[in-house]
Structure 1
Amino acid sequence: MLDRIAGFFRLIGRTIARWARIFFAWAFWPFIAARGWYVQRTWMVRLPILGFIGLLAVLYCYFIWQTQVWSGFNPSFVDEYRLAERKVPAGQELPAADGSATPAAKTCQRSAIVDVAADLTDFNVNQNAWISSMLLYRAGLFGIDWDHTPFLDNKASFQRGVNQAVRRTSVELVDTLGRVRGTSGINNDLQKARGNLQFDEYSWYFGIDPFGPKTPTPSYYRSAIESLRKFNTDLAACNAIFDGRADNLIQFIDRIANDLGSTSDVLADRSQNHHRGWFDTRADDRFWFAYGQLYAYYAILAAAQSDFSQVVAERNLGAIFGATMKQFQAALRIRPAIISNGREDGWIMPSHLATMGFYILRVRSNLVEIRAVLDR
């Protein structure tokens, strides 16, 4: 009886070893064949190939470094703005300094929202490489889109999530916040920033559709940073408008709540219909995109509380804003090493997407409450 059991396990071992040999032969035969062809060539042929392989190795080392090192990442970076020390809403004239012998030039309060939007974009394209338009990211893993693999795509998804929030904010700055509705024109700097931020996230120096050279994505986003900072410089000199009315804040919060609602729906669909645990290769993309949105909106809404400080004080919204910020902070503390998309009632593989979706809905419910108070 024991011999039979031992024979059964030996058979299983031999079968596994056989299939492993077949798999490795299938996976590595192109490299073995290429090596056989290479050693038969002259050095006139070998050297260019060797140079190309060396260049590819350097590019991959740089690519892997950029995808794994997140320079300037700090979920609490909004604390550096010291928004609590601002006593004047955005766009309003600052009081003159006491004891000044000569009258100072008129100055107004800068917009914290614009500062944060510019700094988030700077974080994406200057402090870090913009991953989504890098050549090796576009080439994929042997032709497979990196987003369909579990490797080297988390930072790209996070950056696109941040950019989604900044794009949404730039639209509101142009349409409502940076002008007096119905009585003033669109600010040119904000208009340029919005146009540049809407540019394709995947453009490299050369493209197929249309065929020919292109301006890469980071160049457009850097131009947007310049336009945003120029607007704030003009605002500080009282030469631009920031319309901090309650109805503008309502619309801004509405847009953010809708944006987060869409992301929550994407997370719910992935969690319910593709729960493969640690083997769902798209779960990390969805998670880090949502994380990037929350990372950006946390700072943007903290800035909005400062820019609309008069409205917040008049409507007694300080406590609700404070609760919303705590929800953001709780969500941003979730940073698992490996993203799992298990069943919500599973006991081995956790469901990180469901957890992130839960926090997004809590943030969204607080935003809906702020909107309801403002609309009374």
Structure 2
Amino acid sequence: MLEPIVNFFARVFLWIGRGIGYVVAWLAWPFMAAARWYRRRGWVLQLAVGSVVLLFVGLYAYFFWQTQVWTNFNPDYVQAYDLESRAVSAGEQVMATEGGEARTCGRSAIAEVAADLTDFNVNQNAWISSMLLYKTGFFFIDWDDTPFFDNKASFQRGVNQTVRRTAVELVDALGRVRGTSQIDSDLQKARESIQFSENAWYFGLDPFGPKIPTPGFYRTAIESLRRFNDRLESCEAVFDARADNLIQFLDRIANDIGSTSAILRERSENYNSGWFDTRADDRFWFAYGQLYGYYGLLHAARADFEDVVNQRSLGSLWDTTESQLRAALNITPFIISNGREAGWIMPTHLATMGFYILRVRSNLVELRQVLDR
């Protein structure tokens, strides 16, 4: 009695197996044809073609390694700075000799974290967006339009966005007195360098000719930020740690992540393909990179504006904001899904990330309101 049922399933699996075999054969055919062509050539041509093939295999192996291994990635990286033990605001004089000739001022934790985040992006890791194989894409399809090899690039761009935003604030407000003093040359150079195109390689078509790749400019920004901090420590530079500057900095961060929240909402509402949404991972990891960067920068801002934070009794609210940022960094799914919010099979990671971003933003708005009273 069960024999017809068994035969039916046997036939089904037989046809499935044949179908898989046809697909594998179709995929393998170009390689088999190339191998037959290669065997018929002379040794000189074989050597030349083999060298090119080995070069591409090596490049793709390096590309695969760099996109999959996130060196020194650590959601708790802020703990290494030990800023809680620091008892001086940025730019505040902390020591002087009796004659007043040698002075020491507080370094800027914001500038230090911004430099370290950029170092993490381009020195401790390869900058993915400007790598040749990333620019050529998957058979000339942009990697951002595929579900492969683009998560780290999106994360790095999110981190870089936070440094770009911070560099602007350092030049326009934090690194000068009430906007009327001269712009700091090191901060200006850092801002110009960090704003450079994120995907420049050694050669480009627009304009045509050789170029300095993106990591070269970002390394210049690192040097400029650290040089500013050295001058600040020697009291030769300015950090204006006033409450209104902190308000403006918090406003800029809130607006920045608010824009990202809108992007996540648009994608979540209009594209509900679950695990098959090939752009959901780009949006998610860009937002994650932003929160990763702002976690360190807000932790640094608390140290740089220590007097303001203490005077306005912001400690508890600031702790809450940082704890929410850290909680968001716990969301690291293996595959990003953009399912419906009411769905029960495929999760909606974009909506979850958007929820955390809005929580952080609401706390930033509350911090600003307390400061503005």
Question: TM-score, normalising length from structure 2?
Answer: 0.94
Query: How many angstroms apart in 1 are the aligned matches of 2:179 and 2:134?
Result: 45
1:218 aligns with 2:215: yes
Q: Which of these residues, 301, 306, 323, is aligned with residue 303 of structure 2? A: 306
Tell me the CA shift for residue 154 of structure 1: 1.3
Matches of 1:185 and 1:53, distance apart in 2:
56
3-state SS of the aligned residue for 2:27? Answer: helix
SS in 2 for 1:330: helix
Q: How many residues of Structure 1 are paired with residues of Structure 2 in the alignment?
A: 373
**What is aligned with 2:283?**
286
Is structure 2 residue 272 aligned with structure 1 residue 275? Answer: yes
Using a 3 Å threshold, how does the CA distance of structure 1 residues 345 and 264 change in structure 2: closer, same or farther? same
CA distance in 1, matches of 2:140, 2:58: 19
Q: Would you say the 8 A contact 2:172–2:179 is kept in 1?
A: no
The residue number in structure 1 matching 2:80 is 80
RMSD: 1.9
Equivalent of residue 242 in structure 2, options 222, 233, 245 = 245
**1:209 maps to what in 2?**
206
Aligned AA (1:369): E
Amino acid at match of 1:226: E
State the partner residue of 2:159: 162
Cα gap change, 1:293/1:50 in structure 2, threshold over 3 Å: closer, same or farther?
same
2:361 maps to 1:361: no
Q: In the alignment, what sits opposite 2:90?
A: 90
Aligned with 2:124 (options 106, 124, 127): 127
Deviation at residue 23 of structure 1 after TM alignment: 3.3
Q: Where does residue 64 of structure 2 map in the other structure?
A: 64
**Other-structure match for 1:295:** 292
1:45 aligns with 2:42: no
Q: Describe the shift of the 1:182–1:114 C-alpha distance in structure 2 as closer, same or farther (beyond 3 A).
A: closer
Partner of 1:339: 336
**Counterpart-to-counterpart distance in 1, 2:300 and 2:348:** 32
Alpha-carbon deviation of 1:28? 3.1
Deviations 1:91-117 (A, max 9, x none): 111145xxx888671111111000000
Letter in 2 for 1:39: R
Q: CA deviation at 1:21?
A: 4.5
Deviates more, 1:34-43 or 1:159-168: 34-43
SS at match of 1:349: coil
1:188 paired to 2:185: yes
Deviations 1:273-328 (A, max 9, x none): 22222222222221111111101101101111111111112222111111101101
SS in 2 for 1:107: strand
Query: What is the aligned partner in structure 2 of residue 200 from structure 1?
Result: 197
- What is the deviation of 1:22? 4.4
Which secondary structure state, in structure 1, belongs to the residue aligned with residue 94 of structure 2? coil
Gap regions ≥5 residues in structure 1: none
Deviating more after overlay: 82-91 vs 22-31: 22-31
1:374 Cα deviation (Å)? 1.5
Q: TM-score, normalised by structure 1?
A: 0.93
**Distance in 1 separating the partners of 2:344 and 2:179:** 57
How big is the shift at 1:14? Answer: 5.4
Structure 1 residue 169: Cα displacement: 0.3
**In the TM superposition, what is the alpha-carbon distance from 1:59 to its structure 2 partner?**
1.4
**Contact 2:337-2:347 within 8 A present in 1 as well:** yes
Partner SS state of residue 107, structure 2: coil
Q: C-alpha separation between the residues in 2 aligned to 1:240 and 1:103?
A: 17
Report the Cα distance in structure 1 between the residues aligned to 2:204 and 2:127, rounded to whole angstroms. 17
Q: Which moved more, 1:44-53 or 1:101-110?
A: 101-110
- Verify the 8 A CA contact 2:276 2:337 in the aligned structure 1: yes
SS state at 1:240 partner:
coil
Shift of 1:10: 5.5
CA distance in 1, matches of 2:4, 2:339: 38
Does the alignment pair 1:34 with 2:31?
no
**Which residue number in structure 2 is paired with residue 231 of structure 1?**
228
- How far apart in 1 are the matches of 2:360 and 2:217? 31
Identity of aligned residues (%): 65
Query: Which has the larger displacement, 137-146 or 324-333?
Result: 137-146
Cα displacement string for residues 243-299 of structure 1 (whole angstroms, at most 9, x for unaligned residues): 111111111111100110111111112222222222222222211111111011011
Instruction: Give the deviation of 1:7 after TM superposition.
Output: 6.2
Whole-angstrom distance in 2 between the partners of 1:260 and 1:103: 44
1:105 maps to what in 2? 102
